[in-house]
Amino acid sequence: MPETALRELTFAQAVREALAEEMRRDPRVCIFGEDVAEAGTPFKVLSGLVEEFGSERVLDTPISEAGFTGMGVGAAMTGLRPVVDIMFGDFLTLTMDQLVNQAAKVHYMSGGTWKVPMVLRTTLGATRRSAAQHSQSLHAWLCHVPGLKVAMPSTPYDAKGLLKTAIRDDNPVIFFEDKMMYKQKGAVPAEEYTIPFGLADVKREGEDITLVATSSMVEVALGAANLLEGIGISAEVIDPRTMWPLDEKTLVESAKKTSRAIVIDEGYGRYGVTGEIASVIAEGAFFNLEAPVKRMGAMHVPIPFSPPLEDVTVPTEQTVFEAARALCGKA
């Protein structure tokens, strides 16, 4: 293994490196959003990019999410490859017409003639004490719309590889980053690599139960798997990495092997990603299942500010551990 493969980057650094590499590779790639240039975003994810690529390619915009997302759609159709920055996933509400009625439909409505090679990067995740309008995980909304792709990395390695793929994709891709994860470190090789969409990653192999987890919930599931190991339950943790396209095969095969599954996602449980994935597993692995597929998502409440209230709204290592133990009949 080359020495560089041992290199560690934070999640934020991995995102920045993916952007920088793609901007060096392809002059059409550009960034726009609020405070993306000198400020490098409030999370400092983009620091240094404006210095290298200039303010035309790293373009600060007014607080006009609908306007600059729409501008991104038009720019993508006509020859640029914009990476639009929406600071908080909650602000997706302001971009919905541009994403749902414009970006997602241009290719189909035009009979395949126009394309929208645009990436929209945004965040998800609670427990940052940011209250109801800065803490939501709204990715399920976008997964629902034909024409969009949705990527949700859970490690620095995946963030870099998936973002490079997103930028090279000829379709609109919505890229969700867990804002609690930006400082988390992980191995990222210095060598060029990309990660294809629609390929789940088995984060931990196991025999007794499958924990399908996304984004922020992958760490939670891995923590729960450690606790489960302590009581003799071997959990497999799978991260689909892209919600659409979805690697149904890997999910179903794992559930067939373990015969039990829990799906954990930080979006709302009702009508959400967990419901869709649970259904995929139930349909695909029904005759191998020993128990109903369980869903764990955010509580069906606006995210509260008060820390003890907020903390109970999302799945934790402990709640996943307990659910898995119960599902395995060891309650």
Interaction site with other proteins (CB under 8 A): 28, 30, 56, 59, 61-62, 64, 66-80, 82, 97-98, 101-102, 106-117, 146-147, 149, 170-171
Question: Is the CB of 68 or the CB of 321 nearer to other proteins?
Answer: 68
Q: How far is CA 182 from CA 2, 141, 239, 265, in A?
A: 26, 23, 18, 18
Closest distance to other proteins from the beta carbon of 96 (Å): 11
Q: E strands, the chain, where?
A: 8-10, 29-33, 58-60, 81-85, 119-124, 149-151, 173-178, 185-187, 201-204, 209-213, 235-239, 242-244, 261-268, 294-298
**298 SS3 class:** strand
Question: Is the CB of 67 or the CB of 284 nearer to other proteins?
Answer: 67
Q: Which of 134, 139, 144, 300 is catalytic?
A: 134
Closest distance to other proteins from the beta carbon of 111 (Å): 4
* CA atoms in the 13 A half-sphere facing the CB of 250: 19
Give catalytic status of residue 134 as yes or no: yes
Question: Is the CB of 75 or the CB of 180 nearer to other proteins?
Answer: 75
Closest distance to other proteins from the beta carbon of 105 (Å): 8
Closest CA to 165 of 179, 178, 151, 147: 151
Q: How far is CA 197 from the centre of its chain?
A: 12
Q: Are 85 and 226 in contact (CB under 8 A)?
A: no
Closest distance to other proteins from the beta carbon of 63 (Å): 9
Closest distance to other proteins from the beta carbon of 210 (Å): 28
Question: Is the CB of 107 or the CB of 121 nearer to other proteins?
Answer: 107
In the sheet where 261-268 sits, what is the strand order? 201-204, 235-239, 209-213, 261-268, 294-298
**40 SS3 class:** coil
Backbone angles phi, psi at 85, to 5 degrees: -105, 115
Closest distance to other proteins from the beta carbon of 59 (Å): 8
Q: Judge if the upstream peptide bond of residue 62 is cis by omega within 30 degrees of 0.
A: no
Closest distance to other proteins from the beta carbon of 171 (Å): 5
Residues forming beta bridges with residue 212, ordered by sequence position: 238, 263
Question: Is the CB of 60 or the CB of 322 nearer to other proteins?
Answer: 60
Question: Is the CB of 165 or the CB of 171 nearer to other proteins?
Answer: 171
User: What single-letter DSSP state applies at residue 4?
Assistant: G
**74 SS3 class:** helix
Number of residues that make up the chain: 331
Question: Is the CB of 142 or the CB of 217 nearer to other proteins?
Answer: 142
Q: E strands, 159-293, where?
A: 173-178, 185-187, 201-204, 209-213, 235-239, 242-244, 261-268
Task: Give the catalytic positions in this structure.
Answer: 134
